[in-house]
């Protein structure tokens, strides 16, 4: 997006550049929101998958306990523990991704806001330069006007003495 933003120029360029920056900010907010929703959905899917697996293993364990198969029942308990540990690991991974995405979002947002501030400073600088050039032009006109009137005044005085 940086290449799409001209650095200096007229008011039209400034407004176009600001529109690009504002659009980038809105896009960044939208993208961050979508990313957050995707990670929440992933967390929910992990929990539902684990819940279903645990329910199935509980059922199998009860059946094996009723059949008095203690070896099979303890194997089911071990699988349940494994599923719970895997769920915790995957939840920690999702949390880590959320933190990374949140930090990256804040950084991109800060950069876009800084770009907006730079554009505003460039615009105000350009406006000040235009005003200074305008004032300098007026002073030249006034100086040349006063020189002309001095020359005319001297010319009139010299005619009086003639």
Report the pLDDT value the prediction gives residue 153, as an integer from 0 to 100. Answer: 59
Enter the tokens of residue 160: 């009086």
Report the pLDDT value the prediction gives residue 4, as an integer from 0 to 100. Answer: 47
Report the pLDDT value the prediction gives residue 1, as an integer from 0 to 100. Answer: 41
Q: Is 47 contained in some domain?
A: yes
Q: Which domain holds residue 29?
A: 11-117
Positive or negative CA dihedral for 141, 146, 152, 154? negative
Report the pLDDT value the prediction gives residue 101, as an integer from 0 to 100. Answer: 94
Q: Which residues of 124-150 are buried (b: 16+ CB within 10 A; e: fewer)?
A: eebeeeeeeeeeeeeeeeeeeeeeeee
Q: Is 62 contained in some domain?
A: yes
Report the pLDDT value the prediction gives residue 6, as an integer from 0 to 100. Answer: 46
pLDDT tens-digit profile, the chain (162 residues): 444 444 444 566 888 888 898 999 999 999 999 999 999 999 999 999 999 999 999 999 999 989 998 898 899 999 999 999 999 999 999 999 999 999 999 999 999 999 999 999 999 999 999 999 998 888 776 766 666 565 665 666 666 555
Q: How many domains does the chain have?
A: 1
Q: Is 71 contained in some domain?
A: yes
With 0.85 as the threshold, say if the pTM is over it.
no
Please give the full DSSP string across 64-124, using - where no structure is assigned: HHHTT-HHHHHHHHHHHHHHHHHHHHHHHHHHHHHHHHHHHHHHHHHHHHHHHHHHHHHHH
**Phi, psi dihedral angles at 58 (to 5 degrees):** -60, -45
């Amino acid at each position: 997006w940086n290449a799409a933003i001209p650095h200096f120029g007229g008011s039209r360029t400034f407004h176009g550049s600001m529109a690009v920056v504002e659009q980038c900010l809105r896009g960044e907010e939208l993208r961050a929101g979508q990313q957050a929703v995707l990670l929440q959905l992933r967390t929910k899917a992990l929990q539902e998958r684990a819940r279903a697996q645990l329910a199935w293993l509980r059922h199998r364990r009860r059946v094996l306990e009723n059949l008095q198969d203690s070896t099979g029942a303890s194997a089911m308990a071990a699988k349940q523990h494994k599923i719970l540990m895997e769920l915790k690991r995957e939840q920690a991974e999702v949390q880590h991704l959320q933190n990374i995405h949140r930090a990256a979002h804040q950084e991109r947002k800060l950069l876009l806001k800084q770009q907006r501030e730079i554009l505003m400073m460039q615009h105000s600088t350009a406006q000040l330069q235009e005003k200074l050039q305008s004032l300098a032009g007026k002073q030249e006109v006034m100086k040349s006007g006063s020189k002309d009137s001095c020359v005319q005044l001297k010319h009139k005085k010299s005619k009086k003495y003639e």
